[in-house]
Structure formats: structure tokens, C-alpha cells
């Protein structure tokens, strides 16, 4: 076989390499928790707290240290997110049960966010304002809503993508949540 | 009790699909064996088998449509994608609203193209036609097995069918979605014909000008459909997704754009192969790539390896199947290519400024753009597979390379039509192109000055690129008719395919103008609008008159009635809606648009703030229509090119000339 013909195999080789990646890709869930952050502490942050008329926290800024001490939920939300609105009522129910929920107001408008909490009630201990999405990026947020389970040492134990409803809570989150107590 | 057609339709449809799988298997084997052993009988079976294949697929499609129209919710696919309240036109378009049905549409298109090959390629040498049809049959086997084994649209929910369906996704209840998928699939699947021609050429070794001339109309037609399909998708996203963008570099959009880029390279490369018998291996490779990218798009959209706003309900089993098929088709054809493609001899047959060089430049640029888009699309997947973390690639990445490369491509585009084959003198370019250059430059520098108060240098650049392409086309046309007695006589003498080229290239200029000026001059206001309140956007004034509740067939909506004034003069009333669909409970934004040649006014309702106030999104989008107008011009160019008489005439000559000799590849 002459040398030039070997060059004609290049497209085939490129395709074979791509096909291997596709094969790997099939067994990976694009929504799965990146293993890098599971069982790692919440990334370091220092962000302003969203003023909330109902159940105000009294904080101006907050950091990851405040999440320590008790098992809690960390919920990523935004007013532009339609599913967050569906989820919100169930978060209020959880708050009534005494579950501590921290909020990350993700890439949102402050006024909208405050109106939202005033109108739909505030289930959060506090919500930090992640206007440029930097904390979201560090957490590996795909989109709102997402909910993380944080243990007493401030370590991420679970990540849920999509809304938290009664079924998700009972079947998935609550068992993990209780096991960490 | 006698069974009527409604009850039988799903089973009949299923049976028709099984029969068409049998026929396509026969279509793969019989003509190929016939071509190998020189059996005329077997080779001639191709067109009949293709006809039968088309008939049974069309019948299956009809059966599924029938089940939709008659609300047969015992069929799982109908129950998940339709509802008894759905208007009739959406019941029909819901047939391709989900994974299974859109796959059936894909196969219907494939059957249609196969039939078209059988009908319109009678003048081809019999063994060539037999091999082309056989490859089409092979592709059909893959997709028919896929639908029958993993995604059957005729599955029943028995014995307890639901009372009513769960409704079509409201996003898809729209005229854009009635026509977007069929047109897009026509383009996607149309490239399977070029692919089949390329494989047939590799198998026979007959790879000459005649081969290129046979392939050209098919490539051009598929490309035209794909252009319109992509434009329709962009148009639909613009007014239906409710946020006013028209291109998001979303994986699924990219999946349709990749074959378009390589298809564009292919139609140009085919021209060189036809006219000058050059770039043969390259053209074959492009033909394989174009269809491979269409298949890749199908894989990406339906396997769940990438997340996207468009992604279908995903299923790993389906992903494995398509990947297997992809390996077989792409891997097989690239292996065949590596073994059989002609090796390029090291002789240069053309000069630096020749049309060949420019078309080569076009091909290289388009291929680079394709590779960059492909990398951007697949990078999240590759990074994930290599454990580099979850990464998403956004518009900034794409814009950084796409815009400069596309600009460069357009600058070169002006030279292409003017250049001669073999060689063009620099003087000729200079004498023909200095006027367009100067005119474009002056126009471009003045445009931003008069258009808005602030001077936008990028707008000047956009206008320059577009008018450079346009004026160079005019200069070329004038040059070509310089010997005509009158202007009209001269214009009459130009061939249809020349007009096709002019219109398609002008279409690019129009799209470039639209993309550039819309991006630069769009005014967006996200505002709180109270009843009676006035809002000013450049020279337009918006007044919210009142908020009302409106009832539709399967939804209820909040509607805002807004009066629009231009420079104090009443222009019209606009009525955006926020709809809540009853069956699914999902809400949808219905945008109000005032469409114009030079600008669109765009109002979308956000969230209710109080009883009398809503968050509204008001856009002024200059030149946005030009994006899609340009795509339509490209498609018109494609139609004219295919209609050119020379294909029909030329084919007859070739049969006499090429059939007996049929050059071998490695001679």
C-alpha cells in the first residue's frame, strides 16, 4: 500500500476516537452529580443576603461557615425559573416541618426576587444573591432549581436536579437527610 | 361486532412497517447482487422495491395520522402527544411531535427520496442506479429496525387505555412546528442520496465528471431544504420560545448546522469535480461527512448524551442502537473510503487566483468552521468522559471564531464568481472589483451615521461585508453581459444556474446583514408595565390599555392590549398573551409581533406583578427578518440550480460517453 493511501485512513481514525467518546457518553448521565463535588465542602463564598420582609435573617452578607452545625438543604432558585414557582409551595411546607433551607438566588433580579418572596412567602433561613452565577459555577449548577443536602460539617452529601416535590422528598431526599442527623 | 378502520389502524400500520423493513432488506441485497453479477433482472428490481418501500411507509404514516385524528388514546404515542381538545391541524402535526413519530417522519422522507432516485435516475447506468438504491435500502434497514425494535409508535396501552391524552407540548402547538421538522428532515435525509452516490462511486470505481453531475442536483436540493429547515427552526425559536433570540448555539441547533456547513462545502466541491475533475477524494469525503453529520445529529438528539432544550425523551437503549448504526454506516463508509478513494497525484492544475483555489479556500474555511462548531458541541461530552468535570460551552466560544471566519469567507466569496477556471490575472480582479470595493466602503462608513445617533463601527463592518458580496455580484453580472446588444438581451443569455448562484450568494449577504445589524442594534427593555403607563423605546411608544382574560380551545390566557405609537402617530394594537394549557397545566408565552421589513416590534409577557401591572419584555429588532429572507433566497437559488436544463441534456450525453469506458479509480 503506498504511503499516501495511509493518509486516507485519518478520517476513519478520527471517527473511531469520537465513537469511543460517544460510547463513554452513553453510560454517563449528563445530569448526574459531578463526582468531584460529592462529599466535598460547599465552595467558599462571601455574598450579600437578599433582604426578605417575611422571616428576615438580619444578615447583610453570608458565607459557607453559616451552613454548618445542622443538616440542611441548599436550594438554587430564580424568579425566571418556572419550575421554581411550582417547587416553592413545597419548600414552604418543608419549612413548616422545621427543615432548614438556605437559598441561592441564582442570576436573578433583586427586586423581582424580593417581590417573589413577599408574594409566595419565604421558606429560606436566608438567600444569598449570586447575581453573576459565580457560586453556581463553583457548585456546578446546571440550572434552577437544584437542591443540595449539606451535612453538619458543611459537606455536600447529595444533589438533586429539578423540583423537590412530595414524592422526591419522601423517596429520595428525606432518607438521606435523616441518615445524616 | 365488525372491526372498523380506527380500531385496526395501529396494527395495520405496524404490519406495513414490518413489510417495509422486508422490502428495504430486499432493496439492499437484490440490486447489489445484481450489480455484482451483472444480472439485469436483479438490478431492475430496485425501482419496484423502492416504490413498495415508499408505499408501505406512507401507509404506516397514514395509519398513525388516522389514530391521531380519531383520538385513539389506546395507542401510547397518541395518548402522550395528543388530546381530544387539540385543534385538528395540531393533531396532525402532533404525529411528529415526539420521538417515535418524528422518526417515522424521518423514514417517510427517506422513502420519498429513495422513490425520487428510482424515478429520476432512469437515465443513469443501470448498475450505478442499482448500487445507489441499494445503499438507500441499507440506510432504511437501520432506521426501520430502530423504530420497530426500540421506538414503536404503534404500541398500545391495553386493556385500560386512558380517557384522554396528556396533550401535545404547548411549545409545539404552532405553525412553525407544523412545517419545521418535515422541511429540516427533507434536508437531513436528502444528503443520504449524495452519500449513496458516493458509496456507489467507491464501489464501482467510477468517479468522474459524470458522477459529480449526477450527484449535484441531489446535493443542491437537500442543501436548499436544510437551509429553509434551519431558518424555520430559528424563526420558531424567535417568536415561540418567548425570549426573542433566534440562535442559541444549542447542541440540537448545531446538529442541524453541521451538515449545512459541510453540505455547503460539498455543493462547491462538486462543482470543481464536475467541471475540472479535481478534488475527487475530497468531494467523496465531504459527501460521506455530510450524511454522517446528519446521523450524528440524530444520535445526539435522541440518545441523551448531551442536554439541550430540544432533547427528546431519552433512552440509553436507543442511544446504543443509533451508535451501533452510526459505527456501521460511518465506520464502514470511511473504511471503504480509505481503501478505495483515489490517491491525489502531486500535480497542480491551477494557479493562485484560479476559481479552483477560491473554491478550495471556501471548502477549507467551511470545514474549519464545522470542526470548531463540532468541538464546541461535543466538548462537554468529551470533558465528561475524561473526568474533566461538567462543562458547558456557551455562545461566546462560538461567536469568537464563527464571526471572523464567516467574515473572511464572505470577503472571499466576492472573488469566486469572477474568477476563471485554471487561472485569473490579478489585473482582472482589480479592474472589476475596485468599484464594488469603493462603493461598499463609502456606503458602510455612512450607514451607521444615518441609522442611529451613536456610531457603531461593527455595523459599518457588517454593512461593508454584505454590500461587498452584493456589489461584486452586480459587477460580475454586468461583466458577463457586456457583449449583449441590450441589458435585457444580455440578462436573457445568462444560464439559470448562474442566476441560482447570484441569488444564493445574495441570500448570504442578506442573512449576514440581518445577523449583524440585529445583534448590534436590538433594543431590549424588561420593564414593569402598569395599565395606562407609557413606555418609550427609541422612536416607538407603548401604552398598556388593559389586561383581559381570554379563553382558547384548550387553554386560558391573560392578554395585554397595548397600543403602539410611532413618533406620536398611532401605529397599531398589539396583544401578547400568557397561556395556561388545561391538560398539562403548563404556561406558555405568546409573543405579540409587529413584523416589518426593516424592524420587528416584539412584546412578551413576563410575570404578573399586581392586579394591574405585569413584567413585560419589549424589543425593537432591526433587520431581523433579513436573517430568514436570506435563507429563503439560498433555497430559491437551490431550486433554480436544479431546474437548469443542462442536467437533463448533459445526462443523456454522458450515458453514451461514460457508460462503456467508466474510468477506474486507481488507474
Note the pLDDT of residue B62. Answer: 96
Residue B35 pLDDT > 70: yes
Please give the mean pLDDT across all residues of chain B: 86
Beta-strand ranges (E) seen in chain A are 46-48, 61-63, 72-77, 101-106, 127-130, 146-150, 156-161
Mean pLDDT of B295-303: 77
Q: What's the CATH class of domain A46-179?
A: alpha beta
Q: Do A30 and B306 touch (CB under 8 A)?
A: yes
Q: Which long-range contacts (CB under 8 A, 24 or more apart) does B526-529 make?
A: B526/B606, B526/B615, B526/B616, B526/B617, B527/B615, B527/B616, B527/B617, B527/B618, B528/B609, B528/B613, B528/B614, B528/B615, B528/B616, B529/B560, B529/B562, B529/B613, B529/B614, B529/B615, B529/B616
Note the pLDDT of residue B605. Answer: 85
- The terminus-to-terminus CA distance of chain B in angstroms comes to 71
Going by DSSP bridges, is the β-strand pair A101-106/A72-77 parallel, antiparallel, or unpaired? parallel
Specify whether the CB–CB gap between B114 and B158 falls below 8 A. Answer: no
CA dist B417 and B146 (Å) reads 44
Note the pLDDT of residue B648. Answer: 64
Write out pLDDT tens, residues B227-264: 999 999 898 888 776 566 788 787 778 888 999 999 99
Lowest mean pLDDT among A24-38, A93-107, B139-153, B581-595: A24-38
CA dist B304 and B292 (Å) reads 18
Residue B133 pLDDT grade (very low, low, confident, very high; cuts 50, 70, 90): very high
| Interface size between A and B, measured as CB pairs under 8 A | 87
Residue A116 pLDDT grade (very low, low, confident, very high; cuts 50, 70, 90): confident
Of A8, A25, A35, the CB nearest to B381: A25
CA dist A5 to A13, B170, B448, B666, Å?
13, 53, 53, 11
Of B334, B382, B587, the CB nearest to A12: B334
Question: CB atoms < 10 A from the CB of B581, how many?
Answer: 22
Residue B31 pLDDT > 70: yes
Check CB contact of B389 with chain A, cutoff 8 Å.
yes
Residue, of B412 and B163, whose pLDDT is higher:
B412
Q: Which of residues 73-102 of B touch A (CB under 8 A)?
A: none
Cell of B224: 436548499
Q: At what angle do helices B209-240 and B251-276 cross, to 10 degrees?
A: 160
Specify whether the CB–CB gap between A52 and A161 falls below 8 A. Answer: no
Report for A134-143, B111-120, B206-215, B296-305: range of highest mean pLDDT: B111-120
Residue B337 pLDDT grade (very low, low, confident, very high; cuts 50, 70, 90): very high
List residues of chain A with CB under 8 Å from any CB of chain B.
2, 4-5, 8-9, 11-12, 15-16, 18-19, 21-31, 34-36, 79, 82, 112, 115, 140, 142
Helix, strand or coil, per DSSP, at residue B525: strand
Residue B340 pLDDT > 80: yes
Of A4, A16, A112, the CB nearest to B343: A4
Note the pLDDT of residue A143. Answer: 65
Write out pLDDT tens, residues B549-596: 998 888 889 999 999 998 888 989 999 998 888 776 677 788 888 888
Q: Which residue of A has its CA nearest to B374?
A: A18
Cβ-based contacts of B292 with chain A (< 8 Å): 15
Residue B663 pLDDT > 80: no
Closest CA to B256 of B659, B666, B631: B631
Residue, of A130 and B166, whose pLDDT is higher:
A130
Residue B661 pLDDT grade (very low, low, confident, very high; cuts 50, 70, 90): very low
Note the pLDDT of residue B32. Answer: 94
Write out pLDDT tens, residues A5-40: 888 888 899 889 888 888 877 766 555 544 456 777
Question: CB atoms < 10 A from the CB of A121, how many?
Answer: 17
Note the pLDDT of residue B54. Answer: 97
Q: Is the Cα torsion angle B246, B249, B253, B258 positive or negative in sign?
A: positive
CA dist B165 and B85 (Å) reads 9
Q: Which helix (H) or strand (E) holds B614?
A: strand B613-622
Residue B306 pLDDT > 70: no
Residue B45 pLDDT > 90: yes
Cβ-based contacts of B390 with chain A (< 8 Å): 30, 34, 140, 142
CA dist B125 and B542 (Å) reads 66
Residue, of B343 and B422, whose pLDDT is higher:
B422
Provide ipTM, 2 decimals: 0.78
Note the pLDDT of residue B660. Answer: 36
Residue B2 pLDDT > 80: no
Question: In a mutagenesis test of the B interface, which of A15, A31, A139 is the best target, namely the one with the most B β-carbons within 10 Å?
Answer: A15
Beta-strand ranges (E) seen in B531-586 are 534-537, 540-551, 555-566, 569-574, 577-581
Residue, of B571 and A142, whose pLDDT is higher:
B571
Specify whether the CB–CB gap between B295 and B306 falls below 8 A. Answer: no
Instruction: Return the C-alpha torsion angle B78, B79, B81, B83, nearest 10.
Output: 100
Percentage of residues in chain B having pLDDT higher than 90: 44
Note the pLDDT of residue B441. Answer: 94
Mean pLDDT of B332-355: 77
Residues 6+ apart with CB under 8 A from B111: B20, B50, B53, B54, B57, B58, B140
Of B288, B305, B615, the CB nearest to A25: B305
Residue B667 pLDDT grade (very low, low, confident, very high; cuts 50, 70, 90): very low
Of A8, A15, A28, the CB nearest to B384: A28
Note the pLDDT of residue B204. Answer: 87
Check CB contact of B304 with chain A, cutoff 8 Å.
yes
Write out pLDDT tens, residues B514-548: 999 998 898 888 788 888 888 888 889 999 998 99
Cell of B377: 458541541
Cell of B318: 436507543
Check CB contact of B282 with chain A, cutoff 8 Å.
no
Residue B299 pLDDT > 90: no
Helix, strand or coil, per DSSP, at residue B210: helix
Residue owning grid cell 396528556: B166
CA dist A23 and A35 (Å) reads 19
Residue B344 pLDDT > 80: no
CA dist B260 and B257 (Å) reads 5
Q: What's the angle, vertex CA B490, arms to CA B487 and CA B493, rounded to 5?
A: 150
Residue B653 pLDDT grade (very low, low, confident, very high; cuts 50, 70, 90): very low
Amino acid at each position: 500500500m503506498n504511503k499516501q493511501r495511509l493518509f486516507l485512513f485519518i478520517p476513519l481514525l478520527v471517527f473511531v476516537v469520537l465513537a469511543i467518546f460517544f460510547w463513554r457518553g452513553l453510560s454517563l448521565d449528563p445530569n448526574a452529580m459531578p463526582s468531584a463535588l460529592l462529599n466535598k465542602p460547599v465552595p467558599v463564598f462571601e455574598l450579600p443576603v437578599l433582604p426578605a420582609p417575611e422571616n428576615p435573617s438580619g444578615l447583610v452578607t453570608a458565607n459557607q461557615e453559616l451552613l454548618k452545625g445542622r443538616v440542611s438543604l441548599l436550594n438554587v432558585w430564580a424568579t425566571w425559573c418556572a419550575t421554581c414557582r411550582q417547587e416553592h409551595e413545597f419548600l414552604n411546607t418543608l419549612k413548616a416541618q422545621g427543615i432548614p433551607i438556605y437559598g441561592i438566588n441564582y442570576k436573578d433580579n433583586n427586586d423581582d426576587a424580593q417581590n417573589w418572596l413577599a408574594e409566595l412567602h419565604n421558606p429560606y433561613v436566608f438567600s444569598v444573591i449570586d447575581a453573576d452565577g459565580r457560586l453556581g459555577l463553583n457548585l456546578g449548577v446546571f440550572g434552577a432549581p437544584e437542591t443540595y443536602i449539606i451535612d453538619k460539617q458543611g459537606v455536600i452529601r447529595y444533589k438533586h436536579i429539578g423540583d423537590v416535590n412530595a414524592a422526591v422528598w419522601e423517596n429520595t431526599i428525606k432518607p438521606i437527610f435523616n441518615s445524616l442527623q | 361486532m365488525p372491526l372498523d378502520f380506527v380500531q385496526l389502524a395501529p396494527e395495520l400500520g405496524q404490519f406495513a412497517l414490518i413489510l417495509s423493513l422486508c422490502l428495504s432488506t430486499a432493496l439492499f441485497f437484490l440490486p447489489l447482487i445484481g450489480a455484482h453479477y451483472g444480472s439485469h433482472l436483479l438490478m431492475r428490481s430496485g425501482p419496484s422495491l423502492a416504490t413498495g418501500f415508499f408505499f408501505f411507509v406512507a401507509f404506516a404514516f397514514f395509519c398513525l395520522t388516522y389514530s391521531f385524528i380519531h383520538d385513539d388514546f389506546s395507542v401510547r404515542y397518541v395518548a402522550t402527544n395528543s388530546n381530544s381538545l387539540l385543534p385538528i391541524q395540531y393533531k396532525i402535526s402532533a404525529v411528529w411531535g415526539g420521538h417515535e413519530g418524528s422518526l417515522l417522519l424521518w423514514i417517510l422522507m427517506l422513502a420519498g427520496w429513495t422513490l425520487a432516485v428510482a424515478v429520476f435516475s432512469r437515465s443513469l447506468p443501470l448498475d450505478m442506479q442499482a448500487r445507489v438504491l441499494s445503499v438507500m435500502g441499507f440506510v432504511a434497514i437501520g432506521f426501520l429496525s430502530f423504530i420497530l425494535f426500540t421506538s414503536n409508535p404503534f404500541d398500545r396501552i391495553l386493556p385500560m387505555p386512558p380517557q384522554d391524552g396528556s396533550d401535545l407540548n404547548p411549545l409545539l402547538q404552532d405553525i412553525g412546528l407544523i412545517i419545521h421538522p418535515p422541511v429540516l428532515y427533507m434536508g437531513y435525509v436528502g444528503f443520504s442520496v449524495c452519500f449513496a452516490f458516493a458509496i456507489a462511486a467507491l464501489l464501482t470505481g467510477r468517479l468522474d465528471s459524470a458522477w459529480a453531475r449526477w450527484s449535484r442536483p441531489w446535493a443542491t436540493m437537500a442543501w436548499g431544504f436544510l437551509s429553509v429547515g434551519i431558518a424555520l427552526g430559528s424563526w420558531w425559536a424567535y417568536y415561540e420560545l418567548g425570549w426573542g433570540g433566534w440562535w442559541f448555539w444549542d447542541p440540537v441547533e448545531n446538529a442541524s448546522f453541521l451538515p449545512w456547513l459541510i453540505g455547503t462545502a460539498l455543493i462547491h466541491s462538486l462543482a470543481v469535480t464536475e467541471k475540472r475533475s479535481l478534488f475527487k477524494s475530497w468531494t467523496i469525503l465531504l459527501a460521506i461527512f455530510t450524511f454522517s453529520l446528519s446521523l450524528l445529529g440524530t444520535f445526539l438528539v435522541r440518545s441523551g448524551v448531551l442536554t439541550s432544550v430540544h432533547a427528546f425523551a431519552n433512552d440509553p437503549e436507543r442511544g446504543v442502537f443509533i451508535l451501533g448504526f452510526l459505527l456501521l454506516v460511518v465506520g464502514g463508509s470511511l473504511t471503504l473510503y480509505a481503501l478505495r478513494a483515489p490517491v491525489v497525484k502531486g500535480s497542480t492544475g491551477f494557479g493562485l487566483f484560479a476559481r479552483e483555489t477560491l473554491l478550495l479556500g471556501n471548502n477549507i474555511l467551511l470545514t474549519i468552521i464545522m470542526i470548531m462548531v463540532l468541538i464546541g458541541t461535543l466538548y462537554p461530552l468529551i470533558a465528561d468522559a475524561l473526568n474533566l468535570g461538567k462543562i458547558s460551552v456557551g455562545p461566546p466560544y462560538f461567536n469568537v471564531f464563527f464571526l471572523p471566519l464567516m467574515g473572511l469567507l464572505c470577503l472571499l466569496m466576492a472573488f469566486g464568481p469572477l474568477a476563471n477556471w485554471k487561472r485569473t490575472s490579478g489585473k482582472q480582479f482589480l479592474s472589476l472589483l475596485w468599484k464594488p470595493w469603493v462603493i461598499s466602503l463609502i456606503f458602510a462608513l455612512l450607514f451607521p451615521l444615518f441609522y442611529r445617533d451613536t456610531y457603531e463601527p461593527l455595523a459599518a463592518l457588517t454593512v461593508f461585508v454584505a454590500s461587498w458580496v452584493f456589489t461584486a455580484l452586480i459587477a460580475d453580472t454586468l461583466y458577463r453581459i457586456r457583449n449583449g446588444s441590450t441589458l435585457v438581451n444580455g440578462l436573457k443569455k445568462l444560464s439559470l444556474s448562474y442566476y441560482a448562484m447570484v441569488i444564493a450568494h445574495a441570500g448570504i449577504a442578506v442573512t449576514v446583514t440581518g445577523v449583524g445589524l440585529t445583534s448590534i442594534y436590538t433594543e431590549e427593555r424588561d420593564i414593569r408595565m402598569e395599565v395606562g403607563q407609557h413606555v418609550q423605546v427609541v422612536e416607538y411608544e407603548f401604552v398598556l390599555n388593559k389586561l383581559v382574560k381570554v379563553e382558547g380551545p384548550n387553554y386560558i390566557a391573560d392578554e395585554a392590549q397595548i397600543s403602539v405609537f410611532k413618533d406620536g402617530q398611532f401605529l397599531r394594537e398589539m396583544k401578547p398573551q400568557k397561556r395556561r394549557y388545561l391538560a398539562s397545566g403548563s404556561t406558555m408565552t405568546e409573543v405579540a409581533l409587529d413584523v416589518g421589513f426593516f424592524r420587528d416590534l416584539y412584546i412578551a409577557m413576563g410575570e404578573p406583578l399586581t392586579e394591574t401591572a405585569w413584567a413585560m419584555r419589549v424589543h425593537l429588532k432591526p433587520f431581523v427578518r433579513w436573517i430568514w429572507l436570506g435563507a429563503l433566497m439560498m433555497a430559491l437559488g437551490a431550486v433554480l440550480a436544479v431546474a437548469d436544463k443542462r442536467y437533463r441534456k448533459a445526462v443523456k450525453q454522458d450515458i453514451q460517453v461514460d457508460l462503456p469506458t467508466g474510468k477506474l479509480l486507481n488507474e
